[in-house]
A and B are shown apart, each in its own frame.
Chain A
Amino acid sequence: MMSFFQKYKLKHYVNYAVIALFTLIFTILSLSGALHSSTQYLLEAMGISMILAVSLNLVVGLLGELSLGHAGFMCLGAYLGGKVASLLAPSLGESSPLTLLLSLAVGGVVAALAGLLIGLPALRLKGDYLAVVTLAFGEIVRVLFKNSGESFGGAQGLATPRFDRQTLFLWIFLSLLVCLFFLQNLMRSKHGRAITAIRDNEIAARASGVSVVKYKLLAFMLSSFFAGVAGVLFSFSQFNVRFDHFDYNYSIEILVMIVLGGLGSINGSLVAASLITFLNVKLADVLTGNLAILQDLVYALILILVIIYSNAPALKNFRERFNLRRLWGKIRKPKKADASVQRDDANDWAEIPTKIPMNEILSTDLSPVDSSVKARGDAPADREEDRHD
């Protein structure tokens, strides 16, 4: 039990705890009937965005391949999961968890297969070329469902069963927790390390024996699986799936979330996804009538300013001076911050199980290093002598 806590630090569990706590509070509120339906809708939208952002982060932030077709995978999941749900609903009941779980499985698996299909070109293409393939994939999926005819509702969109509103967001947040659990543990395993190694340097990763083919495909499949799951949940949340919702602007909105949250940071994408969704839904609520057209303008301006502020090379000094983390550190621990970090380090070192006594290593006199530096400094002179010969 001790080793369990040493291996898995508490901070790795904070995000589960926060999400679980929120879910619990809102479940109680929802069951007691105190939750307004618009809040419920907002929660559903936030949960779905978070699943989408975290899953896209696996490909863009952790594998390092730009994908502009995440909404395409979501679209596949939404249509197929919605179809399965509407087929099962008459026999199992509209709000039965079994209907939901089966359609989640079908939507996720189909999207994962599509992810495998798109992962294959990813083995051959680089950077922007791969990005345009994913964009093309998203558009193809949309056109196919638009012309699907009766079976998928065609231009009218597919009607999905009416799931119980009071518990739907609970299912969405459970899915989010499963997604988080899966991805975070993956990233801390050797498989996750392999994926980030490919991002950092593909050639070096390959040389170190990482199977690039396997891990690229794995990352694409997992990412699209969860996008498909999010799609199914979306179809339950909307009662109706329409192809034109999943255009490339939607893929880009998800991309914006993870870029603002910080590429590769799972907690960052959770925060950014919930904030942006909140902003979008609230802006749509607040700016009604003539002001409604301001929504896109405000969104676009915020987007441009935030990106320029957080990325412009000219603002680097300014950013470092007004860094939130630094300010927080100043408020919390005025001077002792550095000392505590060092002490933690020493503890960590001492805990490493080894047959060599750590204290001896740490107290070894390092002075020979200086002489070796001097010797290396002499080397050019030697070479010159050689040349004279």
Chain B
Amino acid sequence: MNFLVTLINGLSLGGIYAMIALGYTMVYGIAKMLNFAHGDVLMVGGYVMFVFLAINAHPLLALLVAVIFCTLFGIGIEYVAYRPLRGASPLAVLITAIGVSYLLQSLAQIIFGSETRYVTVAELGLVKIGSLSLSVATLVTLGVCLAVMLVLHLFVRYSRIGRAMVAVSEDRGAASLMGISVNFIISLTFAIGFALAALASFFYLMKTPIITPTLGSMPGIKAFTAAVIGGIGSIPGAMLGGLLLGLVECFSNAVPALAPYTDAIEFALLIVILLGKPTGFLGKIRREKV
């Protein structure tokens, strides 16, 4: 019985990681950059919801505002910080992303202070299924995550804009010759990624209702790890990696002897998987040509 509860908890945590990882992986696949500031969007979304809940707004309204804010924010950051560096060396872009991450954390610290804030986004109670008692929040998280992933998968696979995204990720030059506006697609990718991170932030706070300016960094790294395990650039890969990482984390936390080493186990898992499959589970293997 305990096993089933841990399994469902793991899947729901994995769903949160997967949602953040989707943003990572889409931005990597399409803009060819590691957006290290991605985890911090989780924090930004969290503070937006914190402000709106403080004035007694409905949680769903707060979520909606956070998603819209983060979407616009993503477009803005891309425009100001990343677009000038299009075509520069990947390392320069990476460092800029790190700079943006520091900037967001320090702005949050200036505006809200470095103290821990508690926020209750929603209290949903427990539900009994047979002899299992599960928190409704976990089930909702799991359901929404799976739905979001499905919608995103269908969007990228079948819609015109989604196909354009795939085209840009495969060959930016050729895509722009086919009449696709590369700048628009990259902005859109950032917008979708940041919106997903804001959504993930809602469920993350439902699970652990604590906000600090550095809230995003650990889930950010974990989601990055998840994206790499699944094969960075691959959307189903990010889902797979996220769910796997969530399961490992919950099962490791459930064993008292392993619990302090959970993070180490997750990262060791990453190294082992990469040694076996150097581009992750579903990553594309690019043959090097002379």
Contact = CB atoms under 8 A, between A and B. Distances in A.
A276 interface: no
A293 B110 contact: yes
Nearest to B262: A143
Nearest to A131: B34
Interface string B84-105: 1111110110111011101101
B290 interface: yes
Given A125-B274, A136-B225, A256-B95, A301 B103 contact: yes
A303 B278 contact: no
B220 to A, nearest CB: 10
Contacts of A139: 221, 263-264, 267
Q: Which of B34, B95, B232 has the most CB of A within 10 A?
A: B95
Contacts of B279: 129
Interface string A100-133: 0000000000000000000001001110110111
B268 A140 contact: yes
B110 A132 contact: no
B155 interface: no
Interface stretch (A1-9, A160-168, A306-314, A345-353): A306-314
Contacts of B280: 129
Interface residues of B, number: 46
A132 B225 contact: yes
Contacts of B81: 304, 308
Q: Which of B28, B98, B261 has the most CB of A within 10 A?
A: B98
Interface in A175-233: 202-204
B288 interface: yes
Interface in A253-300: 255-256, 259, 263, 293-297, 299-300
B181 interface: no
A306 to B, nearest CB: 9
A296 B221 CA distance: 20
Contacts of B274: 121, 125, 129, 132-133
A300 B102 CA distance: 6
B172 to A, nearest CB: 14
B264 A313 contact: no
Interface in B91-145: 91-92, 94-96, 98-100, 102-103, 105-107, 109-110, 114
Across chains A and B, which 9 residue pairs bring their CB atoms closest together, nearest first?
A: A296-B106, A136-B267, A300-B102, A303-B99, A300-B103, A311-B92, A304-B99, A143-B264, A311-B88
Interface of A: 60, 66, 121, 124-126, 128-129, 131-133, 135-137, 139-140, 143-144, 146-147, 202-204, 248-249, 252, 255-256, 259, 263, 293-297, 299-301, 303-304, 307-308, 310-315
Interface of B: 28, 34, 81, 84-89, 91-92, 94-96, 98-100, 102-103, 105-107, 109-110, 114, 217, 221, 224-225, 228, 232, 260-261, 263-264, 267-268, 270-271, 274-275, 278-280, 288, 290
Given A252-B98, A293-B109, 13 more contacts: A124-B278, A125-B274, A132-B225, A133-B274, A136-B270, A202-B288, A256-B95, A259-B92, A293-B106, A293-B114, A297-B103, A307-B95, A315-B84
